[in-house]
Amino acid sequence: MAATDSLIQKIGKAVKEVAKSRSSEWWYTPHMAAASHAVAERIPLVDLVLEVRDARIPLSSEYLQLRKFLSSSRRIILLNKMDLANRSQTKEWMRFFEEHRCMAFAVNSHNRDNIKEFLTFLQARVRELKKKDDHSHAITLMLVGIPNVGKSALANSLHQVGRIAAAEKGRLKHSVVSPQPGETKSIGSLKIASHPNIYVLDTPGVLHPNVADDEVCSKLALTGAIKDTLVGEIELARYFLSILSLSDEYRKWEKLSLTNEGISGLDKKQYPTDHTQDFMVNNVRQTLYNAISSFTGCIENTENLARLVDEEFEFLLKIFHLPLKSEAFNNYCRFCT
């Protein structure tokens, strides 16, 4: 991994320059500052905090501010989007959190059975809380986490799956789910269980004001927590390509290269529906598979890896019919040298 680290350092230099030039649109907006404040104010008032993280990047997606507010007995770490993460790595992460005495649960917000399991887990936890403090008040849980990690999707699913009266499942009552970060603007509450009554608070996505680590920034952008432009699209693409080239993921695309004519060469008219997107995705995969598998240098070596990434980049620019030397690309090269 030394080669990636070194390449990432170079990319990091470019990222910092881009970040400096974009400081006015940096992620920590007044709106996010207000949301962080509102979340911090509520932490002492709720029974449990469900800290939602992205299962693909469980450490980089931590909301660091929580550490100073919360003891681990009132926090459950939720690794959401587990369907997008590597299954065996998720198991390792669960072991990691167990070793660190953190309560953790991996979940896919879109999977009903999985949400049911999680709800049962939550109710058991609530019963434990009630044993310690048997007031008859309703239990309040608060979902906290970085933007776009799936808090609203989770709140909606818990509300839908929860054992509550049909009348309480108001059709219009739901949190707004969106693929864009920063969609939740205020704190909303949804009932998710009765006897005892349990409510979940959905909150706006929050980030630490200073995410100093360039690699963390890139991971946040790649998983959709911050906009790509905040890191720089070219840097991000290069970062992604270096990770892909060093992993085994691309091998899954071998069969695509066996349809040798090249998907771009197929006549799209022979297909009854518009699968333009599928063509594009397959074309990109095929091209990357060919580039990586035919590369003769040792990619553990930094220079070789950078050369491979350059080649992949040029192939991709061709596929997307983009000019090889755009202004953004030239700027990137200037930062890197």
Ligand X SMILES: Nc1nc2c(ncn2[C@@H]2O[C@H](COP(=O)(O)OP(=O)(O)OP(=O)(O)O)[C@@H](O)[C@H]2O)c(=O)[nH]1
Residues forming the annotated binding site for GTP?
Answer: 80-83, 108-109, 205
Considering only residues 124 through 183, tell me which ones interact with ligand X, judged by CB under 6 A: 147-153, 177-179, 181-183
Contact status: 58 vs ligand X (CB under 6 A): no
> Which span (21-29, 78-86, 163-171, 325-333) binds ligand X, by CB under 6 A?
78-86
Which member of 80, 123, 286, 290 binds ligand X (CB under 6 A)? 80
Considering only residues 248 through 307, tell me which ones interact with ligand X, judged by CB under 6 A: none
Contact status: 33 vs ligand X (CB under 6 A): no
Nearer to ligand X, 80 or 286 (CB): 80
Taking the complex as a whole, how short is the minimal distance between the CB of residue 9 and ligand X, in angstroms?
30
Which member of 191, 205, 211, 218 binds ligand X (CB under 6 A)? 205
3-state SS track over the chain: CHHHHHHHHHHHHHHHHHHHHCHHHCCCCHHHHHHHHHHHHHHHHCCEEEEEEECCCCCCCCCCCHHHHCCHHHEEEEEECHHHCCHHHHHHHHHHHHHCCCEEEECCCCCHHHHHHHHHHHHHHHHHHHHHCCCCCCEEEEEEECCCCCHHHHHHHHHHHCCCCHHHCCCCCCCCCCCCCCCCCCCEEEEEECCCCEEEEECCCCCCCCCCCHHHHHHHHHCCCCCHHHHCHHHHHHHHHHHHHHCCHHHHHHHHHHCCCCHHHCCHHHCCCCCHHHHHHHHHHHHHHHHHHHCCCCCCCHHHHHHHHHHHHHHHHHHCCCCCCCHHHHHHHHHHC
Nearer to ligand X, 59 or 84 (CB): 84
Taking the complex as a whole, how short is the minimal distance between the CB of residue 204 and ligand X, in angstroms?
5
- Cite the annotated binding site by residue number: 80-83, 108-109, 205
Nearer to ligand X, 12 or 205 (CB): 205
Which member of 110, 116, 125, 169 binds ligand X (CB under 6 A)? 110
Taking the complex as a whole, how short is the minimal distance between the CB of residue 147 and ligand X, in angstroms?
3
Contact status: 109 vs ligand X (CB under 6 A): yes
Please work out the total of residues on this chain that contact ligand X, with binding judged by CB under 6 A. 23
What is the binding site for ligand X (CB under 6 A)?
80-81, 83-84, 108-110, 147-153, 177-179, 181-184, 204-205
